[in-house]
Amino acid sequence: MLDIRFIKENPELVQDHAQKKGYTVNIQEVLDLYSKAVELGQKQDALRAEKNALSATQGAGKPSDDVIERGRAIRAEIAQNDEAFVAATKAYEDAMWQIPNTLQPDVPIGGEEDSVEIKKWGEQNTGAIDHLDFATQRDWVDFERGAKVAGAKFYYLKGDLALLENAITQFALNLVIAKGFTYVTVPALVNTKTATGTGFTPRSSDQSDEYFIEGEDLSLIATAEIPLTGYHADEIIDEATLPLFYAAYSPSFRKEAGTYGKFVRGLFRVHQFNKLEMYAFTTPEQSIEVHEKILAIQEEIWRAIGIPYHVINIASGDLGAPASKKYDLEYWSPVDNIYRELTSASNCTDFQARNLNIRVRRTETGKVETLHTLNGTAVSLARSLVAIIEHYQNPDGTLRVPEVLRSYMGNREVL
């Protein structure tokens, strides 16, 4: 959620950026709703003050009929005004949730096709066997039994492919710990406050991508970003301790609503997968530099594994509500001769932190203000396996183990 003061001072900018993100909002209507809620709140305060003053004048004697009548009238007016105030406040808050974060100046404007390539690494080789065909032939993945147990797009990993997933995780985890990230485990379920505050779909949405628990105020996490954001909810963090870096490994659950027309074959887009996520809490001045740091770590991981990729600066219409800027690292697919998303890194500035009341206390002034949050995928394991199978397969049906992963696979070179 944006700061209402910022919106009041920059209504045209907020309106313009919302439209560039593809959001249909009317900022003037939001400001009108805010003014109405403030006006009713002030009226309520004035009525309560009058009621208290009236009570103070009564003393020990019996109040006059006029005083009694006025007291009754004030109580009735307070009750009526309170109902209007609650309704106006809810209307204002609901409208505020519809406003996305603003854009950083260098974000490309437009839809998905307008994202801009900013760097590239590795050769664009061609002519590989599709990962699903390759893995199925080796009896490494079983979607049929996954569907029998849980439904379509659930799966079992078996044998060497499951071990390879673990090797990727251990390699990436060791790397991010060496970069200063603290490893934490996180709940796989979060309440609506945390999910909505992070910027994910609230329970009432018909287009929700999250799995909700019936009868509980809980949903399964779509990414460890969600519980990591909530970790410091309603806290004030001393400036001297920032930035804070966390890394969390977790299962991720997604309905994959709205994926019609996107690449969905095999392991690339599934309803459950494991992921190692990086997360940072920073001062506003630190967030741009930390965003670049997260991207650099992602690049280091995939260069070490040996997967060709490019990095794109995501266009405004493909950013979503929380991010003010996002990078996607996409690997080169020698099967389809196209780049496909492997990781992303987002700077959400103060948008998530304001929702969950996460603040920083400045060292010199003692002033308390909203801090910034950032997130980035270290490795999304299902897609990581796709990329490795496509690039390390041999003609005889075996799979080479990337050199940096061999120590995590019993020093085996081929699977």
Q: Is the pTM of this model over 0.75?
A: yes
Catalytic residue among 219, 225, 239, 269: 269
Instruction: Show Cβ contacts of residue 92 under 8 Å, excluding neighbours closer than 6 positions.
Output: 30, 33, 34, 36, 37
* Active-site position among 70, 341, 361, 406: 341
Check pLDDT > 90 for residue 35. yes
Residue 192 assigned as binding residue: no
Residues 225, 239, 254, 354: which is the catalytic one?
Answer: 254
Is 269 an active-site residue?
A: yes
Residue range 29-43: average pLDDT?
Answer: 92
375 annotated binding-site participant: yes
Q: Is the pLDDT confidence value at 252 over 80?
A: yes
Does 219 qualify as catalytic in the annotation? no
Residue range 314-346, pLDDT digits in tens: 999 999 899 999 999 999 999 999 999 999 999
Answer with the residue of higher pLDDT: 63 or 252.
Answer: 252
Write the pLDDT tens digit of every residue in 127-182.
Answer: 999 999 999 999 999 999 999 999 999 999 999 999 999 999 999 999 999 999 99
The answer to whether 357 is annotated as binding is no
Reply yes or no on whether 5 is catalytic: no
Tell me: is residue 123 an annotated ligand-binding position.
no
Structural domains in the chain, CATH included, are: 4-97 (1.10.287.40), 112-409 (3.30.930.10)
Mean pLDDT across the stretch 275-292?
Answer: 98
What does each C-alpha distance from 216 to 32, 191, 201, 212, 224 come to in angstroms? 35, 9, 16, 8, 20
Kindly list the distances between the CA atom of residue 217 and the CA atoms of 168, 189, 194, 221, 358, in Å, as whole numbers in the listed order: 34, 10, 11, 13, 22
Long-range contact set of residues 108-111: C-beta below 8 Å, sequence gap at least 24: 108/313, 108/314, 108/315, 108/316, 109/20, 109/315, 109/316, 109/317, 110/315, 110/316, 110/317, 111/22, 111/315, 111/317, 111/318
256 annotated to a ligand binding site: yes
The pLDDT confidence band at residue 205, using thresholds 50, 70 and 90, is very low
| Mean pLDDT (whole number) for 200-225 | 77
Q: Is 228 annotated as a binding residue?
A: no
| Residue 90 confidence (pLDDT) | 93
pLDDT number for residue 203: 44
203 is known as an active-site residue: no
Does the annotation flag 254 for ligand binding?
A: yes
Residue 274 annotated in ligand binding: no
**Catalytic annotation present for 75:** no
Q: What is the mean pLDDT of residues 27-47?
A: 90
**Predicted local confidence at residue 204, as pLDDT:** 43
- Percent of the chain topping pLDDT 70: 94
Q: With bands split at pLDDT 50, 70 and 90, how would you rate the model's confidence at 308? A: very high
Which of 90-104, 261-275, 286-300 is least confident?
Answer: 261-275
Give yes or no for residue 92 having a pLDDT over 90: yes
Task: Evaluate if residue 106 carries a pLDDT over 50.
Answer: yes
> 58 pLDDT band (50/70/90 cuts)?
low
Residue 72 binned pLDDT confidence (cut-offs 50, 70, 90): confident
Q: Which of 50-54, 251-255, 389-393 has the highest mean pLDDT?
A: 389-393
**CA separation, residue 40 to residues 72, 79, 171, 235, 313 (Å):** 20, 12, 57, 30, 44
- Out of 316, 344, 346, 384, which one is annotated catalytic? 344
From CA 4, how far away is CA 11, in angstroms rounded? 10
Q: Is 29 annotated as a binding residue?
A: no
